[in-house]
């Protein structure tokens, strides 16, 4: 809120226009910091951890480039009781400003994995650290650290005000709720290089590359199946009247279906079969060549070992091994002197 002077010389209190959040881009450093925070504080428990997101905002697009942990405790029995060290938050924010003045508070994160009743109160506390000149409100990001998750581990929300009609008094009440915001994983070139080096260190040498590729394909197909089932459930709810139709969602679905190839065309089916057969032929020939080379190496190693051991090549049937020569008699070998 700012004070402005009108034409009559009186000061009026004005509120800056709020820019709606379009999407949230999460950088790898935020994911690594949140995972490390959870492993240090709440590993093996049902607790969650909370931290502050730092980054930049441009035209409603939030870039969460950095984060830091905040001491947080809550009572599982009474969801209204929680503790967030805002003094620690203020001191850490001051130190981060000395390092990079461009980064500011863009929201907060939680390991969830779902929204809790205290999240709106935490949102109100974090909002106090957002500069007044910023029109985009902070966002709430849930980072799912469970290793069995197949889809993107981030879910972003923004706070919206909704009018709720009170049945007892008949009046309208303004309530705040979380609304979903699209989230994606993004990285700069330097971050991509750092992540690649990090993945090399955590690579499991016991798992083959083929197994990793198959696992990645299965994960992708599983995520695709979940999205298709979600689209099917949404369309059924719209058809039965449980949900109102959203033209934007329907338009996106139509665009997705229009991009799908028509597999009923005979030429396309024939070309796909030829391409598949060619690929399988290459795989079959590669397997044969690999097996022949392996057998050749095995035979070569066997022969080399036998030669080195001194036994020589195997003898044919019926051939006996010659024994060592008998020692020569010295008396017979010496020549006689002539008298």
Per DSSP, the residues of 273-293 read HHHHHHHHHHHHHHHHHHHHH
**For residues 289-301, b (16+ Cβ closer than 10 Å) or e, as one string?**
eeeeeeeeeeeee
Q: 66 Cβ partners below 8 Å, 6+ apart? A: 27, 29, 30, 33, 53, 54, 55, 96, 100, 103
pLDDT at 314: 47
Q: Rounded distance, CA 118 to CA 76, Å? A: 11
The rounded radius of gyration (Å) of the Cα atoms in the chain is 36
38 compared with 261, residue with greater pLDDT: 38
Q: Rounded distance, CA 223 to CA 151, Å? A: 6
Please determine, for residue 321, whether its predicted confidence score (pLDDT) is greater than 70: no
pLDDT at 152: 85
Segment 115-123 shows an average pLDDT of: 90
Segment 169-182 shows an average pLDDT of: 81
Please determine, for residue 265, whether its predicted confidence score (pLDDT) is greater than 80: yes
Segment 225-243 shows an average pLDDT of: 91
Q: Per-residue confidence at 4, pLDDT binned at 50, 70, 90?
A: very low
Segment 35-52 shows an average pLDDT of: 91
Q: Rounded distance, CA 269 to CA 96, Å? A: 58
Q: 62 Cβ partners below 8 Å, 6+ apart? A: 21, 23, 24, 25, 55, 56, 106, 107, 136, 139, 156
Triad 91, 93, 95: Cα angle to 5°: 75
104 compared with 318, residue with greater pLDDT: 104
129 compared with 3, residue with greater pLDDT: 129
pLDDT at 203: 61
Please determine, for residue 52, whether its predicted confidence score (pLDDT) is greater than 60: yes
Please determine, for residue 264, whether its predicted confidence score (pLDDT) is greater than 50: yes
Q: Per-residue confidence at 139, pLDDT binned at 50, 70, 90?
A: very high
Please determine, for residue 336, whether its predicted confidence score (pLDDT) is greater than 70: no
What is the separation of C-alpha 152 from the centre of its chain, rounded to a whole number of angstroms?
Answer: 5
79 compared with 158, residue with greater pLDDT: 158
Please determine, for residue 311, whether its predicted confidence score (pLDDT) is greater than 80: no
What is the separation of C-alpha 271 from the centre of its chain, rounded to a whole number of angstroms?
Answer: 35
DSSP single-letter state for residue 114: S
**How much of the chain exceeds pLDDT 70, in percent?**
81
pLDDT at 18: 65
The answer to pTM > 0.75 is no
- Provide the 3-class DSSP secondary structure of residue 207: coil
Q: Per-residue confidence at 43, pLDDT binned at 50, 70, 90?
A: confident
Per-chain mean pLDDT for the chain: 82
**How much of the chain exceeds pLDDT 90, in percent?**
41
pLDDT at 319: 47
Q: Rounded distance, CA 28 to CA 249, Å? A: 29
Beta-sheet strands, E only, within the chain: 2-5, 11-14, 23-26, 50-58, 61-70, 72-74, 82-84, 104-110, 139-143, 154-165, 172-181, 183-185
**How is residue 116 written in tokens?**
């809790």
Please determine, for residue 151, whether its predicted confidence score (pLDDT) is greater than 70: yes
């Amino acid at each position: 809120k700012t004070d402005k002077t009108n034409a009559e010389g009186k000061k009026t209190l004005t509120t800056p226009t709020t820019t709606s959040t379009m999407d949230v881009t999460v950088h790898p450093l935020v994911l690594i910091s949140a995972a490390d925070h959870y492993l240090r504080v709440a590993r093996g428990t049902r607790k969650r951890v909370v931290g502050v997101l730092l980054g930049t905002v441009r035209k409603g697009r939030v870039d969460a480039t950095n984060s830091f942990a905040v001491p947080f405790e809550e009572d599982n029995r009474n969801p209204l009781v929680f503790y967030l060290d805002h003094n620690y938050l203020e001191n850490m924010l001051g130190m981060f400003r000395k390092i990079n003045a461009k980064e500011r508070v863009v929201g907060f994160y939680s390991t969830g994995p779902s929204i809790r009743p205290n999240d709106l109160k935490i949102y109100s506390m974090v909002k106090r650290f957002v500069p007044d000149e910023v029109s985009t409100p902070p966002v709430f990001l849930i980072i799912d650290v469970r290793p069995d998750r197949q889809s993107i581990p981030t879910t972003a929300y923004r706070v919206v005000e909704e009018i709720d009609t009170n049945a007892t008094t008949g009046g309208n009440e303004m309530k705040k709720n979380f609304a979903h915001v699209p989230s994606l994983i993004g990285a700069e070139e330097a971050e991509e290089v750092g992540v690649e080096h990090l993945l090399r260190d955590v690579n499991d040498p016991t798992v083959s590359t083929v197994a990793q590729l198959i696992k990645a394909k299965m994960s992708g197909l599983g995520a695709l199946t979940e999205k298709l089932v979600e689209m099917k459930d949404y369309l059924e709810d719209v058809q039965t009247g449980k949900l109102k139709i959203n033209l934007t969602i329907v338009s996106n679905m139509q665009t997705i279906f229009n991009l799908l190839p028509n597999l009923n065309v005979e030429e396309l089916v024939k070309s796909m079969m030829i391409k598949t057969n060619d690929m399988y032929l290459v795989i079959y020939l590669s397997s044969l060549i690999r097996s022949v080379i392996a057998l050749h190496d095995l035979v070569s190693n066997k022969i080399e070992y036998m030669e080195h051991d001194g036994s020589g090549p195997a003898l044919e049937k019926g051939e006996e091994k010659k024994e060592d020569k008998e020692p020569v008699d010295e008396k017979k070998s010496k020549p006689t002197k002539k008298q």
